[in-house]
A and B are shown apart, each in its own frame.
Chain A
Amino acid sequence: MRRTALRRGAGPPAAVALAALALAFATPRRAAAYVRYKTATNVGFFWPQSCVPVSAFPLSLTDANGNMQMTPDQVMHAATAAASAWSSAQMSATDPVCTFLKINVTEDDGAAPKVALDYTNALVFDTLVWCNPKKDGSCMYPAEALAITSVFVNKAHGQILDGDIEVNAKIFNWTDLDLPGASHQDQDLQNALTHEMGHLIGLDHTCFVPQLDENGNPLPRPSDNLGNPVPDCDSAPLAVQQTTMFASANSGDTSKRTLAPDDILGVCEIYPVASDPMICPVKDVPPPKQGCALAPGPAGSGRDLALAAAGIVGALGLSARRRRRSPS
């Protein structure tokens, strides 16, 4: 099921409208493309392992009265479905899964951890307090944020070390919009988590808002995997607007639950089946260093080939990686 969920969520009239719009704005078919987060040194973020363990803490959705907006089962369903969207990506319905990456969500009934470089990728709900306190107890999170994702990266080679997703359940209500009677005033958890997990695995938004730097000069426009400039969010093609990693959302939206071809290409080129490093860490274990992850011959070279072919890693980063793998 790909975009069918979008259609279903939007309802039949919306489906007709979407089809009409697609016809009206039909343009020559564009190649699917994706955008990666990059370090300041222009190296794409990536996980150097087969599995990204995510510990979900559904009980953190319990409010002061002991009530929960969603049951733990509903939370886990949303989280695992979001993870599965990425882990089971297929280029087409008849193709095999094209990525080795598995986002493994496990339920943890313990106390929800704070955002920290602790090598536990946590999905937590901040229900009693939305804060991230400073040393003096004052808060750093604004009330307007629905969810915040934090990622620790080694900027030298782009390796993601830790990523945490915090959901603001203090101020906002979360739900599964597929449930009968669910209010479209609430936020669909699976929709939000699918998008956030895209960021967690290193994907950036598929569009760009022109910005100036502190000197008043335009910030460089990112390039996609094909080396093409990322389109403006204001005028992105419809296919880009429909990606899970497009930079907009609406309350009541479920369209980001399922991946668009651009999203699928992203996860499958960054983490292709042929380059599986066959390393599946569990939580609380620091991830392997990059050299170790690339040590298996086929996996390492496959990854580098894929990255080079996609034009994702800059020449400097790639040569540095090769130097590290060369016998010295």
Chain B
Amino acid sequence: MSFKLRLPIALGLLLGGAAVVAPPVEPHASASLVVALDLPTMVERADLVAVVDVVSVSAAWDDKHERILTTAELSVVESWKGPMAPASHVTIVQPGGQVGDIQMTVFGMSQFTRGERALVFLRGTPSDASVVGMAQGKRMVRRDAATGRWMVHAPNRQGATFVRAPGSSSARPTVLETPLRGLDELRTEVRGLVGKSAR
């Protein structure tokens, strides 16, 4: 909910005699500006949605020694949208990374770490994919120690400032506003959205 949209509500509460409410704040973090997307939009814009294991991450200068590019190799655990079989591989190349003493920071890009499991929303093909919505398009997946359930965690929002576009004031929360979801529940919802868009 945008600050401006909340102002009348807050003012109403104040005038109505409401004693104390928490000051409204958008749950956003960190440098590039990115539009905040809701789940249906994420699914719609993605060619591939999958739970993956990160097999490797490597950074190198490009051919002209101008940019540092990071390549992440992903192994599909289960596919929710797109033509990927389990154990098939997906390659993502994105700008940024660290080589020697030089760190190229491209604020807002997703960060991949070797060995982690994640839910990813990708555009393109398995051999040449990019993440939808920058950091929004990758969410860590971990088994909850207490319940044993697989949980999908909040996207890492460091590095991007997320902007709610005008007209996006519907009740649908953005992906950023749904920090923790059960994997089973999210799988059902995403596959439902995929089915809906296919009809």
Contact = CB atoms under 8 A, between A and B. Distances in A.
A40 B103 contact: yes
B31 A134 contact: no
Nearest to B177: A234
A31 interface: no
Nearest to A118: B66
Contacts of A309: none
Given A149-B32, A205-B30, A117 B161 contact: no
Contacts of A204: 30-31
A251 B164 contact: yes
Given A152-B104, A235-B22, A134 B4 contact: no
A95 interface: no
Interface in B27-55: 27-35, 37, 45
B29 A20 contact: no
Nearest to B144: A216
Task: Name the interface size band of chain B.
Answer: 35 or more
A153 B132 CA distance: 26
B185 interface: no
Contacts, number: 210
Given A150-B96, A185-B166, A10 B4 contact: yes
A81 B99 CA distance: 35
Nearest to B117: A214
B171 interface: no
Interface in B134-179: 134, 136-137, 140, 142, 153-154, 156-158, 161-167
Interface stretch (B79-87, B107-115, B186-194): B107-115
A49 to B, nearest CB: 18
B56 interface: no
Q: How large is the interface on A (under 10, 10 to 19, 20 to 34, 35 or more residues)?
A: 35 or more
Nearest to B66: A116
Interface in A118-154: 118, 132, 134-136, 138-154
List 4 A-B pairs, minimum CB-CB distance, nearest first: A116-B66, A248-B26, A214-B116, A209-B29
Interface of B: 2-4, 7-8, 10-11, 14, 20, 22-23, 25-35, 37, 45, 62-67, 69, 93-96, 98, 101-108, 113, 115-116, 123-124, 128, 130-134, 136-137, 140, 142, 153-154, 156-158, 161-167
26 contacts: A20-B14, A21-B11, A37-B105, A40-B103, A118-B66, A134-B93, A138-B130, A142-B123, A142-B134, A144-B133, A144-B136, A147-B32, A150-B106, A151-B104, A154-B101, A155-B103, A161-B102, A196-B31, A211-B154, A233-B28, A236-B25, A241-B25, A248-B28, A249-B33, A251-B165, A253-B4
